[in-house]
Structure 1
């Protein structure tokens, strides 16, 4: 037995992405613990959390709304990644890798959202 959302590729990718972000944020300076580190982790976790919340006993229009929340959280993560790069907490290579993952996940969520009637 499993929850509906566990079978969704977007949820699985969002879970993996959240763990990638968590790992990167652990390398930020201690002074960012309650600022950028916290913000990027909460936004990254929110992507999968909103997908799962929207998948449980929601109408398709309501589910679409939660996918929209996930996409917005992803945009927040990307902005935090830019901040981390500008502050030299991550390398350009790491930024580009996570940016590419973000872009792929965003496109997957947009395609999924369009399929919901």
Structure 2
């Protein structure tokens, strides 16, 4: 078995998670159990599910975790837009996180398709 840490998609999603944590530090304190927590949990879920699926015995199980990962990514993208709409992010911060998430989205879709082809 290989090492999930060598997957570029896992590495990029780890960077996105770190950047998300750093960017949400500036959110109002009343959001710590709201939007801040929600965005962070989604961000953490992306690389976590890539890693967890990697350790599964079958492609079917791996696909299930990759699909959970992309669902978390879509949820995070929605929450990033909400944060931007209520001015918790400036345009540059939002664009950086959102474009990084879109890159991971494209990579995940491609990766899911490749795993499906192995079945």
CA contact (8 A) 1:4 1:56 kept: no
Q: How do 1:1-117 and structure 2 match up within 5 A? A: 4-116=3-115, 117=118
Provide the C-alpha distance between the structure 2 equivalents of 1:32 and 1:104, rounded to a whole number of angstroms. 27
TM-score, with normalisation over the residues of structure 2? 0.93
Question: Deviations along 1:70-110, whole A, 9 cap, x unmatched?
Answer: 10100111111011101101011211111111110000011
Unmatched tracts of structure 2, length 5 or more: none
CA shift for structure 1 position 3? 6.0
Unmatched tracts of structure 1, length 5 or more: none
CA shift for structure 1 position 7? 1.1
* Number of residue pairs aligned between Structure 1 and Structure 2: 116
TM-score, with normalisation over the residues of structure 1? 0.94
Question: Deviations along 1:19-69, whole A, 9 cap, x unmatched?
Answer: 010011111000100000000000000001000000003311111111111
Question: What is the CA RMSD across the aligned residues, in angstroms?
Answer: 1.3
- Range with greater deviation from structure 2 (19-28 or 90-99): 90-99
CA contact (8 A) 1:25 1:37 kept: yes
